[in-house]
Chains A and B, each alone.
Chain A
Amino acid sequence: MLKANAPKCNIRGNVVVEENPYLPERARIVRKFDLTRDVRFFQVRICDPDKVMTWTTNYKPGQFMMVSLPNAGEAPFSITSTPSRPGLFEFCIRKVGRLTSKLFELKENDYIWLRGPFGNGFPVEMMYGKDLLFVAGGLGAAPLRSVLLYALDYRDRFGKIFYLYGARTPDDMLFREEFFRMKERDDFECYLTVDADPTGLWPFDIGVVTSLFKYVNVDADNTVAIVCGPPVMYKYVVDEFLKIGIPDDHIFMTLERKMKCGIGKCGQCVVEHKYTCVDGPVFTLWDVKNIRTLI
């Protein structure tokens, strides 16, 4: 289990490495099924029984893993499961290229390789006692599901919880059935919308995700807002947060960059002086204003 702390030193003050941060750990696909046309859900378990519990309890919602297959490359994927339900890691993976296509060919009990967890994750402790407002778009539901499930598992630590999720069509909505059932819970508010409904069977709102803000009723000064989705969505959603009066440093978003190492070395995720993989992928609105070209 890797931790980004101050490096360990020996008696001479020389840095020593206890675990090679590039060395992947083998995991087995326990279960997989399609969430949408091009997004598949993977449940995986670390093969080494001694590591299963430490790995699956020691991460934060919002962190990611570097997932790899020999000869197909390695890429970052958000962990969509929560450390409050240990044992397995869950990922939602969209088929876009070389590695992801290879991952889609795998069957149950095939192996994949993991490194991590990496990234700063959401500051869950600082969210205690606050109202939470989640806004997800498309595949952005993957990292948000982790923090949502976490908050629901420790429900007594948080104030009101609002979850707004928009997808293009009902068929593009990740975890559709899971969220349908969540709507029936009475300890938080879950609102779903689609841009368009070709099926004519969609029972909830139709419209862009910002149209769901009419349902939101939070204590603005005491609210943490999190948005995750395609880059085009951020501006509109952030405007809504600001309209409600949520402070800049209480607005969080996760950002995507190309990542090859996950540990602040390869430089491919750099934005000005920030390395998205270690200083992010979670940033506040203040960071976004302060660091040019972040979004």
Chain B
Amino acid sequence: MRVFKLKRENFIPFMKGLSKFGELWGPVRKGDRYVYANEPPEKFVLNAIRTIVPAKKFFLPQKSTILKFKNNEWREHYDVKKRVIFGLHPCDIHALNIYHKFYTRLYPDPYYLKNRENTLIVGLSCLPDENCFCHLTDTETVNEGFDLFLTDLGDKFLVWVGSPKGDESLKLVKDLIEDTTQKDIDEYVEWRKKRRSMFKVSLDLEGMPEILTFNYDSPIWEQMGTACLSCGTCTMVCPSCTCFDVDDEFDIRTDEMNRQRYWYSCVFREYSMVAGGHNFREARSERLKLWYTHKLVGFMSEYGSPACVGCGRCVVSCPVDINVITVAKALLKEKPDAFWARMASSNVEVQHA
């Protein structure tokens, strides 16, 4: 892979140069967390940890019109902007690679592809916080799926070129980058060692497919179902969740029917309901089990790797602390943490729906 060096003082001009490709989006602060926003690069937070909503929103927007109907004819509708998205961490890019595999297999999704074609993905290195566990999901480094990737070494960045598009984009900033030296490489190796030593979560995720399979009928699922609010936050913030729903909406102003697609969640009760009101997954525990088995087992058999990238978004977002780590720990029968102890002693009746 081609690597260049970018001096820190050149970062802003570098970003401004890239913004000739399209709208510039990057991580900015929102309260005590971060979001991707279309702002000038001076506002970007370079040590931002995970954003609230992952970058999937650029490729499968929360809500978008895919078709328009007028005069007895359906027409395709694209709402595509050229964009530079800066600040994706390795886990985010791994998740996009999952998206890519998923949305290009069998029937490739034209909306996803158009968005992807028109996006320049500029990754950014990160240092883990106490909720990151990409070292356990084998997603702490990334070799493909980005156009450019910046490793922050303090006074400089290494700029990795990951695609022909990325290579092309460097023409916009060619005066700002320079060749790397042996010293830069040495610093990078040191930086990696330091980063590796910072992870806090320790857990055996490798055996998860078997563990989940054997624990299919475990009472743990019932317990979790009792606590779960079916709010769908986990699926919205999960960078590898792909599910959507489709509905038509009439637009009075244009006299057109819009076919919309919007994010949907498998933990919602309506998800598995079919004609006649029969529900294949009536209980919340059943729906949680679907989420975890699909992510950690189902995806394995289809794509060879689990669909969890260790970003920690479920860890910081679930209001009742159901997340990959607590679930895995419970299934592995590790000493339950405070949450599970509370759960077990609360004696709450198992409710449905």
Interface residues of A (CB under 8 A from B): 2, 4, 7, 12, 14-17, 20-24, 26, 70-74, 94, 96-97, 111, 113, 231, 256-258, 260-261, 263-268, 270, 272-274, 278, 292-293
* Interface pick from B81-89, B269-277, B341-349: B269-277
18 CB contacts below 8 A, A to B, read A4-B107, A15-B108, A17-B110, A23-B75, A24-B67, A26-B72, A26-B74, A96-B276, A113-B74, A258-B274, A265-B109, A266-B243, A268-B243, A268-B264, A268-B272, A270-B290, A273-B294, A278-B106
Per-residue CB proximity of B287-329 to A under 8 Å, as 1/0?
A: 0001001100111111000000000000000000000000000
Complex interface: chain B residues within 8 A of A16 (CB): 108, 113
**B266 with A270: CB separation less than 8 A:** yes
**Chain A CB within 8 A of B245 CB:** yes
**Given that A266-B243, A292-B216 are known contacts, is A258 also in contact with B271, CB under 8 Å in the complex?**
yes
Q: Determine if B76 and A23 form an interchain contact, defined as CB atoms under 8 angstroms apart.
A: yes
Q: Indicate with 1 or 0, residue by residue over B330-342, a CB within 8 angstroms of chain A CB atoms.
A: 0000000000000
Q: Once the chains bind, are A260 and B245 in contact (CB under 8 Å)?
A: yes
Chain A's closest residue to B74 (CB) is A24
Stretch at the interface among B9-17, B30-38, B122-130, B246-254: B246-254
Inside 8 A of B246's CB, which chain A residues have their CB?
A: 73-74, 260-261, 266
Q: Is the CB of A268 within 8 A of B106?
A: no
Interface residues of B, count at CB 8 A: 52
| B residues less than 8 Å from A23 (CB atoms) | 67, 74-76
A73 touches B248 (CB 8 A): yes
Question: B163 CB to closest chain A CB, in angstroms?
Answer: 9
Q: Which residues of B contact A260 (CB under 8 A)?
A: 244-246
Is there an interface contact between B271 and A273, defined as CB atoms closer than 8 Å?
Answer: no
Instruction: Give the nearest-CB partner of B244 in chain A.
Output: A266
Additional pairs, 8, CB under 8 Å, beyond known A14-B117, A20-B76: A17-B109, A22-B76, A73-B247, A73-B248, A264-B107, A268-B272, A273-B294, A273-B299
Instruction: Tell me if B245 and A268 are in contact (CB < 8 A).
Output: yes
Q: A15-B108, A267-B243 are in contact. Are A22 and B67 (CB under 8 A)?
A: yes
Name, among A260, A267, A274, the residue most crowded by chain B CB atoms within 10 Å (CB to CB).
A267
- A96 partner residues in chain B, CB cutoff 8 A: 275-276
B104 / chain A contacts, CB cutoff of 8 Å: 7, 15
Roughly how many angstroms separate A71 CA and B234 CA in the complex, as a whole number?
A: 30
User: Which residues of A are found within 8 Å of B298, using beta-carbon distances?
Assistant: 270, 272-274
Residues of B within 8 A of A (CB): 66-67, 69, 72-76, 102-110, 113, 117, 164, 216, 242-248, 250, 257, 259, 261, 264, 266, 271-276, 278, 280-281, 290, 293-294, 297-302
Docked pose: A232 CA to B219 CA in angstroms: 27
Cβ–Cβ contact A273 & B301, under 8 A: yes
Do A272 and B107 form a contact, CB below 8 Å, given A23-B76, A24-B74, A258-B272? no
Nearest A residue to B246 via CB reads A260
- A272: B residues at CB distance < 8 A: 293-294, 297-298
Q: B105 CB to closest chain A CB, in angstroms? A: 7
- In the complex, the answer to whether B280 meets A97 with C-beta atoms within 8 Å is no
| A13 and B135 alpha carbons, distance in the complex (Å) | 30
Chain B residues in 8 Å Cβ range of A278: 106
Query: Which B residue's beta carbon lies closest to that of A5?
Result: B106
CB-defined contacts of A20 to chain B, threshold 8 Å: 76, 110
Evaluate contact between A266 and B275: CB separation under 8 angstroms.
Answer: no
The 7 A-B pairs with the shortest beta carbon distances in the complex, nearest first, are: A273-B298, A267-B243, A263-B107, A17-B110, A21-B107, A15-B104, A70-B257
Question: Which residue from A12, A71, A74, A267 sits with its C-beta under 8 Å from B242?
Answer: A267
Nearest Cβ distance between residue B236 and chain A, in whole angstroms? 14
Using known A-B contacts A71-B257, A258-B272, A272-B297, determine if residue A7 contacts B243 with beta carbons closer than 8 Å. no
Assess whether B271 is in contact with A17, with CB atoms less than 8 Å apart.
no
**Which residue, A72, A231, A273, has most C-beta atoms of chain B within 10 A?**
A273
Indicate if the CB atoms of B72 and A111 lie closer than 8 Å.
yes
CB distance from A96 to the nearest CB of B (A): 5
Which chain B residues lie closer than 8 Å to A264 at the CB level? Answer: 105-107
A7 touches B105 (CB 8 A): yes
Provide the residues of chain B in CB contact with A261, threshold 8 Å: 244, 246
* A70-B243 in contact (CB<8A): no
Contact of B103 among A257, A258, A265, A273 (CB under 8 A): A265
Distance of A48 Cα from B276 Cα, bound (Å): 35
